[in-house]
């Protein structure tokens, strides 16, 4: 059972959002209807994904539903973005940033860098250098860049510190951090402590709960992984210390609901996680 705590003031509490990957099938089939259902739940923000090829369409649908997408996921650090459900080709950063600006996104977040690039110091340095090099390009569009983790960032250690923390040390302070709480726990982390160490660079948390896999599914010797194999739960019903992680953050702007594999009807599951955040006083 997760602990309860007093509400923070509105300045300290983040806004709720939802990663649209959670409802990828529904969104592709009926963009306007899907966004209207999210707005009816009470959400005012979403986090766009795979948006580069359809920015005007997404912006029109967002406006019609009264929603904004202050953050968005797009590949910036790989020639091709691999996901458990298929690959997304990587356009040039300038194309990504122009599409993001059209939608109204303010922070473009790379959602996935493959495990093999996280297991050597040179690989981690290259990831950080690439992201650092994009900060000025993004700024020319009025944007910032960021990174979202899975569990592969915690496989290797250098000088007793996970590769992820080496990455944090090497990246420019302007690089925003979005911590996926479920995946950090899957990577064996004390998640609230990690949140506290990231500090004010942590602008968003992925509010994701579930039963943590018995081993890191991104390890080189792990069997082929698919998101459908995950036992994910509504917020507050799994292993993830969501409340502690929310309260450990010092400058959190967005609490982003996400399911890699929704346990039931995705809109009902999103509504339940939103109610967890709202009723607990964790969002404004």
Query: Sheet holding 45-49: strands in order across?
Result: 15-18, 254-257, 202-207, 176-180, 144-148, 107-110, 68-73, 45-49
The domain locations on the chain are: 8-111+265-284
Q: How many CA atoms lie within 13 A of 279 on its CB side?
A: 8
Average pLDDT for 259-281? 98
pTM over 0.85: yes
Which residues lie closer than 8 Å to 199 by C-beta, 6 or more apart? 250, 251
Average pLDDT for 140-166? 98
The strand pairing partners of 178, in sequence order, are 148, 204
Residue-wise pLDDT for 210-252, tens only, equals 999 999 999 999 998 899 999 999 999 999 999 999 999 999 9
Residue-wise pLDDT for 8-50, tens only, equals 566 589 999 999 999 999 999 999 999 999 999 999 999 999 9
Contact indicator for 124, 170 with CB cutoff of 8 Å: yes
* Rounded Cα gap, residues 197 and 183, in angstroms: 17
* Rounded Cα gap, residues 71 and 208, in angstroms: 17
CA-CA distances (angstroms) from residue 138 to 99, 174, 208? 12, 11, 28
Residue-wise pLDDT for 115-135, tens only, equals 999 999 999 999 999 999 999
Name the band, by pLDDT with cuts 50, 70 and 90, for residue 85: low
């Amino acid at each position: 059972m997760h602990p309860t705590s007093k509400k923070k003031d509105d300045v300290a509490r983040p806004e709720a959002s939802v990663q649209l990957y959670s409802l990828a099938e529904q969104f592709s089939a009926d963009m306007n209807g899907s966004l209207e259902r999210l707005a009816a739940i009470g959400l005012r923000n979403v986090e766009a994904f795979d948006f580069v090829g359809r920015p005007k369409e997404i912006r029109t649908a967002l406006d019609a539903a009264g929603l904004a997408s202050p953050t968005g996921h797009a590949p910036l650090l790989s020639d091709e973005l691999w996901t458990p459900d298929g690959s997304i080709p990587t356009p040039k950063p300038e194309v990504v940033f122009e599409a993001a600006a059209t939608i109204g996104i303010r922070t473009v977040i790379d959602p996935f860098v493959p495990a093999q690039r996280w297991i050597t110091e040179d690989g981690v340095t290259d990831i950080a250098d690439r992201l650092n090099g994009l900060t000025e390009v993004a700024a020319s569009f009025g944007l910032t860049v960021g990174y979202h983790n899975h569990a592969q960032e915690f496989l290797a250690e250098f000088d007793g510190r996970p590769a992820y923390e080496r990455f944090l040390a090497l990246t420019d302070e302007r690089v925003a951090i979005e911590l996926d709480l479920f995946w950090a726990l899957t990577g064996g982390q004390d998640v609230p402590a990690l949140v506290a160490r990231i500090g004010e660079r942590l602008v968003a948390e992925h509010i994701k709960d579930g039963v943590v896999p018995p081993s890191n599914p991104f390890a080189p010797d792990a069997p082929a992984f698919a998101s459908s194999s995950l036992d994910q739960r509504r917020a507050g019903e799994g292993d993830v210390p969501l409340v502690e992680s929310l309260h450990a953050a010092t400058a959190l702007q967005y609490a982003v609901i996400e399911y890699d594999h929704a346990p039931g009807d995705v809109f009902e599951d999103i509504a339940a996680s939103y109610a967890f955040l709202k009723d607990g006083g964790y969002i404004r």
